[in-house]
Amino acid sequence: MAPVFILGLASQVSDMHHLSAEELARAVGHNTGNLAFHYAIDQQLGGSLTCLNWGTDPELINTQPGCAVLPCANQLGGHVDLGALAQSFERIDRPMVAIGLGAQSSNTAVMPDLPEGSLRWVRAIIAQAPSKAPNISVRGAFTQRVLDHYGLGAQTQVLGCPSLFINPDPALGQRIGRRFGPIRRLAVAAGNPWEPWNRLERSLAALVTQQRGAYIVQHPLELLKLAWDETQSLSDASLSSIRAAIDPAMSRDDLATWSRLHARVFGSIPEWMDALGEFDFVVGTRVHGIVLALQAGVPALCIAHDSRTLELCETMCVPHVTIAEVIDGVTLEDLPRLFRFDPLAFDQRRQNLAQNYWDFLWRNGIETQPFLQPDPAG
């Protein structure tokens, strides 16, 4: 098996409290949820791996021994043209394996129009496959269907997200099921204040206030500033949007006080998961915030609002509802009814995906930690 290095982000942000919100945003690729799959991949492939970011000079990348492993997110969609990145990747002469690539659309019935630059980027990765096996794992059937549409689906395998395997317990779903009960403390995976579902987000923020909970921020920069006690730097327009999503009656000072009590942001996955363990339930529109709660053994519910969140939930058996089901808001009494969770089905899906993930990596010449390896007796 060849050595590997990460072509992506560092798996945690060191000394994050010395950074500004803008510096933190840059360090995490503008969404702290990105740390979940970077951390997962690093741990699953041995830990403390060499890490080079995507902007590194290809000549330097080419000096690294072994295979480049790319932790991916929802890079495919009309929202971004990866042409400049494709030019760089076409100069890389190292074997490459991409993990967790996703397509983005308003829903899984709408085929995104991928720019030619993004298709070139995918082709550049395929061209450096370590073997004849697929070297791109995708988040779900929708992403594979999108790449099929462009003639690239044969080099992909549906595996969800590696963040599903942070916790090695094969009976994790049963542990989550046993824990589900009265919700005395609740955390929310905070959404985007510019999305058109303010009534829902306000209801979640109200639950945080009522339940002495946490409003865990991942993105965008304006919410990171809120959690970082930088509300004075927010423009009036940004402040208005955030107030509309949390509580329109709040003044700037009220919002700053509320955020000091409830808003939190993390630059370390172990720290994030430890904090989630304090709560009885986690809910919100951020799928990686929900997956991390489940990995911590905490019952959690994702509100799926687009193709990327829905396909991850469906692929990984993550408890979820669609945005249409709760667009007018949720109450504490709604959550037990909405939490449709089958512990055994969740454990079986994790086992199947983990075995397929191990096989995908093995066929690409990559060794994993023992807990991912299939059970010979199973």
For residue 378, pLDDT over 60 is answered with no
List pLDDT tens digits, range 72-117.
Answer: 999 999 889 999 999 999 999 999 999 999 999 877 788 899 999 9
- Domain range list for the chain: 4-166+350-372, 172-342
Six-digit token pair at 9? 């982000």
In CATH terms, is domain 172-342 a member of 3.40.50? yes
Asked whether 50 and 79 are in contact (CB, 8 A), the reply is no
* pLDDT tens profile 311-328: 999 999 999 999 999 999
Q: What is the mean pLDDT of residues 40-65?
A: 96
Which residue type is seen at 230?
A: E
pLDDT digits (tens, 9 = 90+) for 264-305: 999 999 999 999 999 999 999 999 999 999 999 999 999 999
Burial class for 151, CB neighbours closer than 10 Å (0-12, 13-18, 19+): exposed
Stated pTM of the model:
0.96
Stretch 157-172: mean pLDDT: 97
CATH 3.30.200 given to domain 4-166+350-372: no
Q: Taking residues 167-191, report their average pLDDT.
A: 97
* Distance (Å, whole) CA 368 – CA 233: 45
CATH fold match for the domains 4-166+350-372 and 172-342: yes
SS3 70: strand
- Calpha distance 291→282 (Å, rounded): 10
Share of the chain above pLDDT 70, in %: 99
Q: Are 363 and 132 in contact (CB under 8 A)?
A: no
